[in-house]
């Protein structure tokens, strides 16, 4: 009894307050998602029932079947193509750029700060110039144009994370490999890239989620053929209540890739971001 009492006495008030804040935040995030999920599986008559039903009276997939005529699957396909392509480009070029900045001081002393500062730029400040540029080269309503724009946006963050990660790794590995006769490309490919996998995956996951959920540039640079899922969802807003089910189904589908990415790369992302954030 005395041991249990001492254990409870040792609990600090800050721990209790922090736990309560986490619980409240978790409910704030989960409740809208769960509410959307229940709407996606409700039959249409539950939307006008009195009193309102929290859970569906008879779960149905009718709203998911109705997405065939609402361009939802095409939008999902376009979003996946653009996100996978842009995240791949971001990982390939961002990882090499991050290594060059960390080891060879490419760009000078403040170049890494300039990279991350690009994330602070309001997108509206460059929306018109980017539209004019993409329109000039004929890539409006084209997945290639959207992929290139997203790649430019996400490469900077990937390079910054990888650069910060490599700074924390001593150069003994590289020196030992160079003594054994390896050139710089071999050192990068066989030693440094495998060591930097956590940071590379963290940057890739960030690039994928940002590209998949981006709306502003997608709404301006797409028309019909290359419309992404966020734009398709926006077209459903403001319509009558009979479309609440398909809208909730679209939102639920759009959350699946981001959740899967988080579950698959959670440990690598935490390691990459935590080690990369120790020394900037």
Q: Does 146 lie in the same domain as 22? A: no
Tell me if 139 is assigned to some domain.
yes
Q: pLDDT by residue (tens digit) across 181-229?
A: 888 888 888 888 888 888 888 889 889 999 999 999 999 999 888 999 9
Residue 4: its pLDDT value, please? 53
Residue 130: its pLDDT value, please? 93
Q: Does 120 lie in the same domain as 21? A: no
Burial 8-19 (b: 16+ CB within 10 A, else e): eeeeeeeeeeee
Q: Does 200 lie in the same domain as 139? A: yes
Tell me if 52 is assigned to some domain.
no
Q: pLDDT by residue (tens digit) across 69-121?
A: 788 899 999 999 999 999 999 999 999 998 888 888 877 777 877 877 877 88
Taking the CA atoms of 144, 145, 148 and 154 in sequence, report the sign of the dihedral they define: negative
Domain that holds residue 213: 63-276
Angle between helices 266-276 and 197-213 (to 10 degrees): 110
Do 226 and 4 form a contact (C-beta atoms < 8 A)? Answer: no
Across the chain, mean pLDDT equals 83
Residue 146, Cβ density class (10 Å: 0-12 exposed, 13-18 middle, ≥19 buried): buried
Q: Does 108 lie in the same domain as 15? A: no
Total number of domains constituting the chain? 2
Q: Does 130 lie in the same domain as 209? A: yes
Name the strand (E) or helix (H) holding 227: none
Q: Does 127 lie in the same domain as 69? A: yes
pTM equals 0.82
Q: What residue spans of 60-196 are helical by DSSP H? A: 62-65, 72-104, 111-117, 124-136, 143-167, 172-179, 184-187, 193-195
């Amino acid at each position: 009894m005395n041991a249990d009492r001492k254990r409870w006495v040792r609990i600090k008030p800050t721990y209790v307050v922090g736990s309560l804040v986490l619980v409240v935040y978790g409910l704030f995030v989960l409740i809208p998602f769960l509410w959307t999920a229940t709407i996606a599986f409700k039959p249409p008559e539950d939307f006008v029932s009195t009193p309102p039903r929290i859970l569906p009276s008879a779960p149905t997939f009718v709203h998911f079947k109705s997405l065939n005529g609402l361009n939802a699957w095409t939008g999902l396909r376009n979003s996946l193509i653009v996100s996978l392509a842009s995240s791949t480009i971001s990982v390939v070029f961002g990882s090499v750029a991050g290594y060059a900045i960390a080891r060879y001081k490419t760009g000078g002393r403040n170049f890494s700060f300039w990279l991350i500062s690009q994330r602070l730029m309001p997108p509206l400040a460059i929306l018109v110039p980017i539209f004019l540029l993409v329109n000039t080269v004929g890539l409006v309503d084209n997945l290639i144009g959207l992929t290139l724009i997203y790649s430019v946006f996400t490469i900077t963050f990937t390079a910054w994370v990888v650069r910060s990660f490599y700074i924390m790794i001593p150069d003994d590995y590289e020196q030992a490999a160079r003594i054994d006769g390896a050139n710089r490309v071999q050192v990068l490919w066989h030693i440094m890239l495998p060591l930097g996998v956590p940071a590379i995956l963290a940057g890739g996951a960030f690039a994928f989620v940002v590209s998949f959920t981006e709306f502003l540039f997608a709404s301006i640079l797409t028309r019909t053929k290359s419309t992404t899922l966020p734009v398709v969802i926006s077209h459903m807003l403001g319509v009558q209540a009979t479309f609440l089910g398909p809208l909730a189904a679209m939102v639920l589908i759009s959350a699946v890739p981001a959740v899967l990415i988080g579950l698959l790369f959670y440990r690598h992302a935490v390691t990459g971001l935590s080690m990369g954030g120790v020394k900037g």
